[in-house]
Amino acid sequence: MNEQGELRRSLSLPLITLYGLGTIIGAGIYVLVGEVAGLAGYFTPLSFLVAALLVSFTAFAYAELVARYPRSAGEAVYIQAAFRHKYLSLFVGLLIISIGVVSSATLVSGVVGYLQLFVDIPAEIVIGAMVLLLGAIAAWGVRESVGLAAALTLLEIAGLLIVLWVAREHFTDLPAHSKDLWPGMDGGVWQAILLGSFVAFYAFVGFEDMVNVVEEVKEPRKNLPRAIIIALVVTTILYATVALVVVLSIPVVELAASQAPLAAVYQRQTGEPAWFISLVGVVAVVNGVLVQIIMASRILYGSARQGWLPAALGRVHPRTRTPLLATAIISLLIWGMAMWLPLLTLAQITSFITLLVFSLINLSLIVIKRREPAIEGVRVYPMAVAVLGVVFTLSLLLFQLWHWLYG
Tens digits of residue pLDDT in 164-188: 898 888 777 776 666 666 776 666 7
Residues written for the chain:
407
Cβ atoms 227, 17 nearer than 8 A: yes
* Res 381 pLDDT > 50: yes
Q: What is the pLDDT of residue 254?
A: 82
Among residues 192, 199, 236, the alpha carbon closest in space to that of 347 is found at 199
- State whether residue 11 is helix, strand or coil: strand
More confident residue, 244 or 340: 244
Residue 23 CA to chain centroid, in angstroms?
Answer: 5
Confidence at 110, pLDDT banded by 50, 70, 90: low
- In this predicted structure, the answer to whether residue 59 has a pLDDT above a threshold of 80 is yes
For 383-396, the pLDDT digits (tens) are 999 999 999 888 87
Residue whose C-alpha is closest to residue 299's, from 140, 97, 100, 136:
97
- The arithmetic mean of pLDDT across residues 288-303, rounded, is 78
Q: Among candidates 236, 284, 242, 263, which has minimal Cα distance to 26?
A: 284
- Domains in the chain, please, with CATH? 13-406 (1.20.1740.10)
- What pLDDT shows up at residue 7? 61
